[in-house]
Amino acid sequence: EAQVTQNPRYLITVTGKKLTVTCSQNMNHEYMSWYRQDPGLGLRQIYYSMNVEVTDKGDVPEGYKVSRKEKRNFPLILESPSPNQTSLYFCASSRDRALSGANVLTFGAGSRLTVL
Amino acid sequence: GQNIDQPTEMTATEGAIVQINCTYQTSGFNGLFWYQQHAGEAPTFLSYNVLDGLEEKGRFSSFLSRSKGYSYLLLKELQMKDSASYLCAVRERGGSQGNLIFGKGTKLSVKP
């Protein structure tokens, strides 16, 4: 089944304790992206990657890191989490970032993170 | 700048028709998407418009007017399972080439 898999789905952690949210897709997609979703703010892009070893900042990159060493994986790293990073996180992928066509984003199931 | 507006909440009755509007102002335009998101779940793709006009897909239709920066999603024969948030997203042409900008979503409640 074609899918985007995120782990963990739920996590409660404490301020300053480094954590990684993994994301893996099995569709050979070139483009991958991380979003956070907060009440009243909608989906906001954190980082995106157009291909292996190519990453770029989205609208809210502060406090996050990413890497894209393999095409299928795009982990999100919080080096020193803070309470304002408590949110619902979604990883998404698409075939490419082509400027034409219904290049649809496929989303993972989400990771609900709470930082105390 | 980028701005996408849609109503925060709407309520409709089972079996009825509802129209969810979306207006946008972006520095370039290369397509508009509608996604459905049930509470606590991932957004799923509903429709895509890049040219003016109406796209129909079963009970769901989406309309686009590029000159007015306006789109709507039309849901017919509403069912209880249509209770969800509906996200309007615009793909820009230009600097951020192809990234989607999402609106804040419209939470639709369908009542019996």
CB-based contact A74:A58 (threshold 8 Å) = no
Q: Cβ–Cβ of A90/B97 closer than 8 Å?
A: no
Q: Compute the distance between CA of residue A44 and CA of residue A37 in angstroms, rounded to an integer.
A: 6
The confidence score (pLDDT) of residue B27 equals 78
Q: Cβ–Cβ of B93/A99 closer than 8 Å?
A: yes
The predicted-structure confidence for B57-91, as pLDDT tens digits, reads as follows 899 999 999 999 999 999 999 999 999 999 999 98
Q: Spell out which chain A residues touch chain B, with contact meaning CB-CB distance below 8 angstroms.
A: 31, 33, 35, 40-45, 48, 58, 88, 90, 97-100, 102-110
Task: Using DSSP, state whether A84 is helix, strand or coil.
Answer: helix
Pick from B35, B42, B102: CB nearest A110: B42
Q: Kindly report each contact of residues B58-64 with a partner whose C-beta sits within 8 Å and lies 24 or more positions away, as own/partner.
A: B60/B34, B62/B32, B62/B34, B64/B32
The predicted-structure confidence for A49-86, as pLDDT tens digits, reads as follows 988 999 999 999 999 999 999 999 999 999 999 999 99
The proportion of chain A whose per-residue pLDDT surpasses 90, expressed as a percent, equals 83
Q: Compute the distance between CA of residue B7 and CA of residue B2 in angstroms, rounded to an integer.
A: 17
The proportion of chain A whose per-residue pLDDT surpasses 70, expressed as a percent, equals 95
